[in-house]
Structure 1
Amino acid sequence: MFNFLIIYLAPGNPVEMFIDPNTSADQIELRKEQLGLNDPLWLQYLHWLGNLLQGNLGFSYNSFEPVSQILAERLGPTLLLMGLSLLVGILIMIPLGIVSATKQYSTLDYATTGFSFLGISIPNFFLGLGLIYVFSLQFPLLPTGGMKTLGSDGGFLDRVQHLILPVVVLAIGIAGKMIRYVRASMLEILGQDYLRTARAKGLREFVVTNKHALRNALIPIITVIGLEVPMLLGGAVITEQIFQWPGMGQLTIQSIMSRDYPILMAINLIAAIMVLVTNLLTDIFYSIADPRIKYQ
C-alpha cells in the first residue's frame, strides 16, 4: 500500500509521458479515463489488488503488453547477473576474510582491510564508468555494455565477455562489505578452547581453520549474505543502466521515467518476495551450517 501510494502520488502521469504534446486536453482526459487514472486512489489500489489476487499483474501503460510477460523477459538476465556477482563476491570475501583473520595486524591484513574499504567507498557508477574507460576505450578488450554483440547469436564466450565488467563491479561491492564480517566472525571463533584442543591433537592449521573454525563462523556470514541478495536488485539498477544490461534494473529506470505504474508495482512485489524467500533460505542454511539449530 505504501509503495502504491508513493508511486501514484509522484508528479506526472503515464498519459502525459507517451502521448503527443499537441494532443487536446479532452483527448488526454479520455485516455486517463480509459486507464482508470481518474478514479480515486483507493479504488485504483483495490482494482490492482483484485487483479493481483487473480494472478494478473496488469498491462504496461506504454507498450500495452502484459506485465508478467515483460518481467519474464527481464528477470532471467538480472538473476544471471546477480547470481554470478554474488558467487564471485563470496569466492573473494571468504578466503580474504579468513587470511585477514589468521594473519591479524600483518601487512596482508592491512592490505585486505584497505581493499574492503575501497570496495565499500567506490560507488557502482564511478567504478563501472572507470572500468569501461580502461578496458573498453583505452584497451578495447571488453564490450562497453549490452548482453550480446549486435548481429551475433550471443554465444557462450560472447555472453561471458559482456558479463565480466558488470559482475566485477557488483562483486567488488559485495566483497568489500562482507570481508569485515568474515574477518570479525573468524577472529571470534579462532580464540575458542576447542580449536586449541584441535591444534594440541596435532591437526594441521589448514584443517583447524577451514573445517572447524569456518563451519562455526558461518552463522553471521550466512546472515549478511542473506541480507545482500535482495539488495543486489537495488544495486543492479545503477549497474544495469551503466552497462545497458537488459534486466530488471534497466526496466525499473525506464518505468520510472515513463511513469509505468503497473510495472513499478510488479517490481516492488518481486523485491518483497525476494526478501521473504531469502529470509526463509537463510533460516534453512542456519540449520545446515550448525546442526545444533533445530526448528520445531
Structure 2
Amino acid sequence: MLNFIIRRLAISVVLAFLISLISFFIITLTPGSPYPWGELNPKITPQVKEAFKKKFHLDRPLIEQYWLNMRDLFNGNLKSIKDDRPVLQKIGERLPATISLNVLAAVISLSFGLALGVYAAKHAGKTPDLLTSILAFIFIAMPGFWISYLIVIGLVRFTDVPILGTQSYGVIFPNAASMWLDRFWHIALPAVVLSIGGIAVQSRFIRASMIETLREDYIRTARAKGLEPDTVFFKHALRNSIRPLITGIGGLLPGLIGGSVIIETIFAYPGLGRLGYEAVLERDYPTLVAINFIVAALILIGNLISDVLYAVVDPRVRLE
C-alpha cells in the first residue's frame, strides 16, 4: 500500500506540471494581450513597457515564461499582472471559499445519489425506478449555468432572498445564529446547483451496482436461509454495492472544480473559480499558472484518495 501511494504521488506531481504547462500554452496562444495599457497611450514610454515585460518575464520565450513563473510560485515571489499582489495571497483568500463550496456539493451529491440509487434498486422495474431514471437523465442533460440562471431570475423576481456573494451586506443580524444561517444560505444555493449533475450520475451507478449485487449467489443463499428482505438488501447487498460511491469521489472532483468556475461567476461567489475566470479575461498569466497547478494537484489528490478508499472498502483489491 505504501509503495502504491508513493508511486501515485510521484506520477501525480508530473501530471500536475504537465496539465498546468498545457493550459498555460493554450491561454497564452489565444488572442489578447496581458499589457494593461493601450497601444496609443502617449504616457507609456518604451522604457516603462520594457520594465513591465521584464518584471513579468513577458520578454522571454513561452516555455521559459512558464518555468520562471513556476519558480516564482514555489519561491513565493509570483506577482499578479492585474494588481501586482502576491498570487499566493490572492489564492489563499479565495481557496477556503471554493473548498467549502465543493466539499458541501460533494456531500450533497454522494448522500442524495446513494439514497436515490438505493431507492431505485429496491423498486427496480417499477414506477419509482422509472421516475428516478427519467429525473436522473434530465438532470444529467441540464447545464448547470442554465439551472443557475433560472434560480437567480426566479428568486430575484418573486422573492427578496439574497443570492449573491457569501453573505448579506448592510444587514444587522440580531445574533450570531442569524449571521451563520445567512452565510449557510449563500453557500448552500450554489452548492445544490453544483451537485445536481453529480446526484444524477451517482444514483445511476449505485442502482446498477445494487442490481448486480442482488443477483450474486450469496444473496440468494441469504434469502434461502429465511432472512428478512430488508436485512438482505441493506446489510448484505448495500455494503458490497458502495464501491461506485467510493470511486465516484475521484470522478466528482474534476466536475465540481470545473463547474464551480461557472457557478461562482453566476452567483458572484468569491472563490477560486471566479478568480480564475477574472484572470482569463485579464490575461493574468501568473495567476492562471498558479491556479491551474493548484487545481490539478487537488484533482489528482482526490483521485489518489479515491483509489486508497476503494482498496479499504474492497479487500479483494490488491495494490502492489
Indicate whether the TM-score tops 0.5. Answer: yes
Q: Look up the SS of the partner of 1:14 in the other structure.
A: coil
Deviation, structure 1 residue 73: 0.7
1:87 match: 107
Matched, 1:233 2:254: no
Amino acid at match of 2:168: T
Per the alignment, do residues 20 and 179 of structure 1 end up closer, same or farther by CA in structure 2, a change over 3 Å counting? Answer: farther
Amino acid at match of 2:266: I
Normalised to the residue count of structure 2, the TM-score between the two structures is 0.85
Contact 1:129/1:242 (8 A) holds in 2: yes
2:164 match: 145
For residues 95-174 of structure 1, the aligned pairs below 5 Å read 95-140=115-160, 142-152=161-171, 155-174=179-198
Mark the runs of 5 or more structure 1 residues left unpaired by the alignment: none
2:288 match: 264
Contact 2:37/2:44 (8 A) holds in 1: no
Alignment partners' CA distance in 1, 2:219 and 2:39: 69
Give the counterpart of 1:36 among 38, 44, 57: 57
Amino acid at match of 1:111: L
Alignment partners' CA distance in 1, 2:37 and 2:111: 44
Alignment partners' CA distance in 2, 1:21 and 1:210: 71
Per the alignment, do residues 265 and 18 of structure 1 end up closer, same or farther by CA in structure 2, a change over 3 Å counting? Answer: farther
Q: Deviations over 1:186-245 (max 9, x none)?
A: 111111111111222233322322232122122233223311112211000010011000
Per the alignment, do residues 50 and 278 of structure 1 end up closer, same or farther by CA in structure 2, a change over 3 Å counting? Answer: same
Give the counterpart of 1:46 among 57, 67, 92: 67
Cα RMSD (Å): 2.2
Contact 1:146/1:162 (8 A) holds in 2: yes
Q: Deviations over 1:81-134 (max 9, x none)?
A: 111111111111111111112211211111101110121111111101111222
For residues 234-253 of structure 1, the aligned pairs below 5 Å read 234-253=258-277
Contact 1:199/1:205 (8 A) holds in 2: yes
Deviates more, 1:147-156 or 1:91-100: 147-156
Per the alignment, do residues 201 and 48 of structure 1 end up closer, same or farther by CA in structure 2, a change over 3 Å counting? Answer: same
Relative CO higher for 1 or 2, CA cutoff 8 Å, sep ≥ 6?
2
Deviation, structure 1 residue 286: 1.0
Deviation, structure 1 residue 57: 6.1
For residues 180-219 of structure 1, the aligned pairs below 5 Å read 180-219=204-243
Mark the runs of 5 or more structure 2 residues left unpaired by the alignment: 1-20
Deviates more, 1:43-52 or 1:121-130: 43-52
Amino acid at match of 1:51: D
Alignment partners' CA distance in 2, 1:129 and 1:29: 44
| Corresponding residue pairs, total | 294
2:319 match: 295
Per the alignment, do residues 110 and 40 of structure 1 end up closer, same or farther by CA in structure 2, a change over 3 Å counting? Answer: same
Deviation, structure 1 residue 25: 6.1
Per the alignment, do residues 109 and 269 of structure 1 end up closer, same or farther by CA in structure 2, a change over 3 Å counting? Answer: same
Contact 1:17/1:258 (8 A) holds in 2: no
Normalised to the residue count of structure 1, the TM-score between the two structures is 0.91
Identity value in percent: 37
